[in-house]
Amino acid sequence: QNEKELQDVVKQQEEKMLQLIDKSGEVTRLKGEVSQLKRSLQRAETEAKVLWEELRGPEPRADAAGVQERVLLRQEVDKLRLLLLEKEEESSRLSSKH
């Protein structure tokens, strides 16, 4: 009976190790996603800043299509910022579980 109990304990430990390995892989994947989102956010912020400066210049070179594109870029920046925050929170939750 002791041998049976020992086998059960070993099996449980193996299952826990597999779960930790899975979670570790998920954390690594999420860190990659966060890194990619940060780069995307930085690119979008740079584009938005350049476009904003273009509009504020002494002779704005904006047309209706350009303004619409700028608005869409600003919205994309906001979406990316929100996604980044969500991924960081998710990553923090997963890290705290470990």
Identify whether residues 69 and 83 lie together within a single domain.
Answer: yes
Query: Could you list the residue range(s) of the whole structural domain that residue 30 is in?
Result: 1-57
Q: Provide the pLDDT for residue 13.
A: 92
Count up the domains in the chain and report the number. Answer: 2
Of 46, 37, 21, the residue nearest 88 (C-alpha):
37
> Do 49 and 72 belong together in one domain?
no
Statement: residue 63 has pLDDT above 70? no
Same domain, 69 and 25: no
The answer, as to whether pTM is greater than 0.75, is: no
Mean pLDDT of 23-40: 86
pLDDT at 60 > cutoff 70:
no
* pLDDT for the residue 62: 59
Mean pLDDT over all residues of the chain?
81
Long-range contacts of 89-96 (CB under 8 A, 24+ apart): 90/30, 91/27, 91/30, 91/31, 91/34, 94/23, 94/26, 94/27, 94/30, 95/27
